[in-house]
Structure formats: C-alpha cells, structure tokens
Amino acid sequence: MTELPDVVLVTGASRGIGRAIAVAAARKGVRVVIDYAGNAEAAAETVALVEAAGGEAIAVAADVGVEAEVAALFAAVDGFGRLVGVVNNAGVVDVAARLDEMSTARIERMFRINVFGTMMVAREAVRRMSTRHGGRGGAIVNVSSISARLGSAGQYVDYAAAKAAVDTFTIGLAREVASEGIRVNAVRPGIVDTEIHASGGQPDRATALADQIPMKRAGRAEEIAAAVVWLLSDAASYTTGAILDVSGGR
Ligand code: NAP
C-alpha cells in the first residue's frame, strides 16, 4: 500500500502567525492544511507562499468554534494525507474594555473560539494520531499568549483568561496522551506585529508598546513560527507539556 503523505493542520493560517507557521512547516517537507475563518483571498495567498517554498497546501474555511465545521475540516485533512501535527493557532481578541463593560456574548465568543475551538480541534487530532486509536502518534502545539500570565487588566481579561485555559489544557492533555505517541506543547507569544491588533481597535499596538518590551521591539510572526515548528519536530522528541514564552523578555 502506498504511504500517505504527512500532513500538518494549522488553524487560522490565512494571515499573521498562522501563515508564517504554515510556510515554515512546509519547508520541513510536510503537506499543510490551511484553515481560516472567512478571508479566502488571504488563505489563497498563504497557499501560494507555501507552493513558492516548494510545498503543497490546501485552504479550508472552517470556524474552529463550530463543531460541524471542525468535522468538515478534518474530513478535508483526512483526504489530504496522514495527520502528524496540529497547530491550534486560530484566535481572536476584542476591543479594549473592562469586565464591567463586557457583554456575555463577547465573553462566550472569546471562549468559543480560543478555548472550545482549541479543544475540539485537539480532540479530533487525538482521535487520529493516538496509538490508542490505531494512529502513529504526532504533535500538537497550542498558540497561547503571555497575556495568560499578565492578565491584560483594562484591555481584555476575557482573552487572557481564555489563553490561561489553553495553557492548563496543554498541560493536562500532554499528560493524558504522553504514552500514546502524542506530544502537546504551547507557545506563548508576546506582542507580535500582525493584524490582530487592528481587530482589537489598536492597529499601532505593536509599535506603541515596544518600549514596555525588554527587547524594545515587537516580535515577527516568523520568530513565533520557528518555535512552533521546533516543537512539532522530532528535535523536540522529549518535550511535552511545555509552555514556551516567545516574548522578547516580556
Ligand atoms: P491575526 O493576524 O488576526 O490572524 C488570525 C487568524 O485566525 C486568521 O487566519 C483568521 O482567519 C483566523 N481565525 C479567526 N477566527 C477564526 C475562527 N473562528 N476559526 C478559524 N480561524 C479563525 O492573528 P495573529 O496575530 O496571527 O494571532 C495568531 C494567534 O496568536 C492567536 O491565537 C493569537 O491569540 C495569538 N497571539 C497573537 C499575538 C500578537 O501580538 N499578534 C500575541 C499573543 C498571542 P481569517 O483571515 O479568515 O479571518
């Protein structure tokens, strides 16, 4: 029987950090599934960048916070090859607000996408990669945020709390599946220059806050991608349940 090609799924890979992860993973020789929410044009650009780097990719629109869409996403993954890695990168912030100004709908969306999405995607990955289910193992990397450590008071405590849930989920799942061939780790970026800040109403946040960062600059998406791809790789074969800050010292 012909071996299926190895596939890595990167959620939220149409732009920003996810795009950089998709390209860096493709350079390692795996096929990449590029999940995105709605920006088909940007996702197509990521596919083109992967192909320009000598790789192969498909783009699939799926909201990670909607179970049926996660199921459809994994059907596409299964059609593209054998899953060996998943990066839970899709994530959202909201405009700066205090808790006493936040609607319940906002808090629910924050957790639906950032936490439930991460957990549903990881669950589907475990069902495919765990030796308990006949799989051959693999790696999961969750993209958290140093806000999980800082709390983001007056900015978005909902986002910070959701990312803290991702951290604890990473530790627990890592121990749960450690003997089943799956490693689970998290990367906590500091401030990275992407479009996420515009979606939070602060397009200049990355440059405006540079002075508060010990390295005095925002990070680049490629610098986060390098850490993620290392954690996906066999070079990190004894690393699981780790939470790696990539934050310029912040
Ligand atoms: P970004 O530039 O805003 O890109 C977000 C990506 O996620 C896009 O590809 C978007 O797709 C996708 N997405 C949004 N909601 C989704 C959903 N419900 N289902 C599937 N995909 C969805 O964000 P980024 O700055 O690259 O952030 C990536 C990750 O890093 C996030 O988890 C974020 O919390 C984390 N992070 C970022 C920073 C930072 O400073 N940038 C710092 C710490 C942590 P569309 O293009 O289709 O909208």
CATH number reported for the structural domain that contains residue 200 in this entry? 3.40.50.720
pLDDT tens, 64-102?
999 999 999 999 999 999 999 999 999 999 999 999 999
The predicted structure's pLDDT at residue 114: 98
Question: What is the reported pTM?
Answer: 0.98
Structural domain of residue 44, as residue ranges? 6-246
Number of domains in the chain: 1
The predicted structure's pLDDT at residue 5: 81
pLDDT confidence bin for 171, thresholds 50/70/90: very high
Mean pLDDT lowest for which of 87-91, 163-167, 201-205? 201-205
Mutate which of 17, 60, 204, 243 for ligand 1? The one with the most ligand atoms within 8 Å of its CB, which is: 17
Mutate which of 9, 11, 74, 92 for ligand 1? The one with the most ligand atoms within 8 Å of its CB, which is: 92
Q: What is the mean pLDDT of residues 189-207?
A: 94
Residue 43 resides in a domain: yes
CA distances from 181 to 35, 208, 217, 241 (A): 24, 43, 38, 13
Residue 218 resides in a domain: yes
In this structure, the residues whose C-beta lies within 6 A of any atom of ligand 1 are 11-18, 35-39, 42, 63-65, 89-92, 113, 143, 145, 189, 191-192, 194-196, 199
CA distances from 219 to 75, 78, 94, 171, 205 (A): 34, 34, 20, 25, 12
The average confidence (pLDDT) of the chain is 97
Residue 1 resides in a domain: no
Residue 139 resides in a domain: yes
Whether the per-residue pLDDT at 1 is higher than 80: the answer is: no
Whether the per-residue pLDDT at 18 is higher than 70: the answer is: yes
> CB 191: neighbour CB atoms within 10 A?
24
Question: What percentage of the chain has pLDDT greater than the value 70?
Answer: 99
Whether the per-residue pLDDT at 165 is higher than 70: the answer is: yes
Q: What is the mean pLDDT of residues 209-232?
A: 97
pLDDT confidence bin for 164, thresholds 50/70/90: very high
CA–CA dist 165, 148 (Å, integer) = 8
Residue 64 resides in a domain: yes
